[in-house]
Structure 1
Amino acid sequence: MDGIDAFDRDVTAALMRVAAREGWSGATLPRIAAEAGTTLAALRARFADRAAILDRFVAVVDAAVLAGTMPPNESDTPKDRLFDVLMRRFDALAPHRAGVLACWRGVRRDPVALACRVPAALTAMRWMLEAAGIPATGPAGMLRAKGLLAVWAAAFRAWETDETPDLAPTMAALDTALTRAESLAETLEPLLGRPSRPQPDAAPGAGSEPDPAA
């Protein structure tokens, strides 16, 4: 992924703050620029539109998760590793929770806008697979990414209403979704091939597509 810099972090965080106050429809580019302490001209130099800022937020979250990723442990199951990675993704979203939910509730009302967010979401899931030591390249990798996106969506639905300090309902939903995905993966394994064992020094591989409101 392209390098994440301070401007990206400032602008995407500003989007989340404005959305938390004004909703997705009220998170206009002038308000985002003012919240970030920058200008519309500076925003235009980096982002094509508001949706591009939202997609960049997904990449900022990716980077936060990957920065805290240690080499995969061979003794852990793929399910265990994915559980850890995705819960750390929720940890990265936590400071922006109100804004994330406001953006999501706005975007999901617009089928076109929602469909346009799918590539960024799939790219994020490919990186999460790689962080868990599971190959995410090629056709098999794309199928795994789509499956993991379904898992993430199920857990995210629980997170939307989860006000508990330990996120127990979210963890339960994630565990259930991963168990179902694991069963499906075992069925499809002859077609997809078994994921290779994690390599301690392997860096996450990039997805081929460009980057839900995370």
Structure 2
Amino acid sequence: MATEKSKAKIVDAFLGLLSEKPYAGIGLGDIAARAGLTLGELRSAYDGKLAILADFIRQVDSAVLDSTEAPSAEESRRDRLFDLIMKRLDHMAPHRAAVRHLAESARRDPGMALCLNRIALDSARFMLAGAGISTDGLRGAARTQGFVLMAARIVPVWLQDEDPDLSKTMAAVDRALEHAETWSHRTDRAAGILCRVGRKLDRHRPKRAAKPETEAPAA
């Protein structure tokens, strides 16, 4: 089994390479060599590049959530999401070049974009939970995907924002949250209508009569 020290070396090596070249230009051998490990050691730690990336995202999630207090009644969900998003960007700031190459690669490769979306959905569930927002059921699934799409609009602004105060990024986050809030209300109403229609249909659905039991044939 790979040690946590080996995994940390692999993640750092991968991010270092990703800051220098596109995702597709990074081979598993390159990662192992940069980390000072054998390919066998790399294989025992991760299944591939996407697994390494998912581990990095988990580390960012943990750092953000560990530095965030439990939701309070005084804070709105919008304000809490704003703080969570800005904290995520702060933790990702040392790897901005890597994020830029990753975003460029995803734009060129739809298959990779789908894989990244799956990783982002897992992260989004925890970010929404950190803001006290449910991710259960149809509404929760819509909110989770909405958060991922919202982040996809914010990241390009952040990558171009050279202001130390990240004023453009904060403005983009505020606009995205306002749009998401409106979209969420509409989605909640639509989901509520679908649920009510489903309950009405279920009440009026004819019930099947029980089949009479057949007598066993005489011996």
Query: What TM-score results when the alignment is normalised by the length of structure 1?
Result: 0.81
The structural deviation recorded for 1:5 is 4.1
Preserved CA contact (<8 Å) 1:14 1:36: yes
Preserved CA contact (<8 Å) 1:162 1:170: yes
Q: 1:182 to 1:103 in 2, by over 3 A?
A: same
Preserved CA contact (<8 Å) 2:71 2:131: yes
Match in the other structure for 2:129: 130
Preserved CA contact (<8 Å) 2:139 2:187: no
Higher mean Cα deviation, 94-103 or 5-14? 5-14
Match in the other structure for 1:32: 31
Match in the other structure for 2:91: 92
Preserved CA contact (<8 Å) 1:72 1:132: yes
Preserved CA contact (<8 Å) 1:140 1:192: yes
**Residue 11 (str. 1) matches residue 7 (str. 2):** no
Match in the other structure for 1:150: 149
Q: Give structure 1 regions of 4+ aligned residues with deviation exceeding 4 angstroms.
A: none
Preserved CA contact (<8 Å) 2:117 2:148: no
Q: 1:133 to 1:7 in 2, by over 3 A?
A: farther
Q: 1:129 to 1:5 in 2, by over 3 A?
A: farther
Deviations 1:172-208 (A, max 9, x none): 1110010011112223334557xxxxxxxxxxxxxxx
Preserved CA contact (<8 Å) 1:155 1:171: no
Say which structure, 1 or 2, has more relative contact order (CA 8 Å, 6+ apart). Answer: 1
Q: Hey, what's the Cα distance between the residues in 1 that align with 2:124 and 2:79?
A: 16
Query: What TM-score results when the alignment is normalised by the length of structure 2?
Result: 0.80
The runs of 5 or more residues in structure 2 that have no matched partner are 193-219
The structural deviation recorded for 1:151 is 1.4
Larger gyration radius, structure 1 or structure 2: 2
Q: Which one has the bigger helix percentage?
A: 2
User: The residue matched to 1:117 in structure 2 has which SS?
Assistant: helix
Deviations 1:80-128 (A, max 9, x none): 0000001111011111111121122123211111112211111111110
Preserved CA contact (<8 Å) 2:142 2:187: no
The structural deviation recorded for 1:63 is 1.6
Match in the other structure for 2:68: 69
- Identical-residue share of aligned pairs (%): 37
Q: Hey, what's the Cα distance between the residues in 2 that align with 1:69 and 1:135?
A: 17
Higher mean Cα deviation, 18-27 or 75-84? 18-27
Q: Hey, what's the Cα distance between the residues in 1 that align with 2:124 and 2:65?
A: 12
